[in-house]
Structure 1
Amino acid sequence: MAEALKFRKKPVVIEAVQFTGLDSYLSIVEWMKSVGDTHALANEVRFSTPIMLLQTLEGTMAANPGDWIIRGVQGEFYPCKPDIFDATYEAA
């Protein structure tokens, strides 16, 4: 049986904005465009259900109210659930 090794995630500073629903959608899109995201216009929010669809490196992903929109180290954007965000990140 192979021995499992332990690893620690390297400290990396990211930017993030919390998606709170329709009230935050436009400001998130403006933030994404201001840092050079060319897919910001392709993102959409579904009005019947307050979800934000994001074009990510892995394809289209949905963000629900409460999720964080993260700008990664390569400038990519993706959603992150609040519990994962809290367990992974702290204020810099």
Structure 2
Amino acid sequence: MMLTLHVLMLSLLSGGSARVVSDFEKECGQFFANGKSPTTFSGAQYKQICQTLNNVDYFATLYDTDNKIPVYSAYKFEGLMGCTRLQKWHIEPQ
């Protein structure tokens, strides 16, 4: 119930939404190598969530409801965007 409330609040604030699914590979397979999700844990506390924005899936997240943490999130990398950063990285001396 609490997870549903958090998802609802997030969707109202951000324009995004999420849905709990029973099969990552069927619902959000595009985020995994060869369409196969990593090994999932057994137990009712683990929820597979597809996160969307404007009806487009952007992330797949395995969420642990007991510890209230994401176990992992998957995203499809679509290449480097044009970077306009002018400053160089500043490396801390070792």
Shared fold, TM over 0.5: no
Scaled by the length of structure 2, the TM-score of the pair is 0.28
Higher RCO, Cα 8 Å, sep 6+: 1
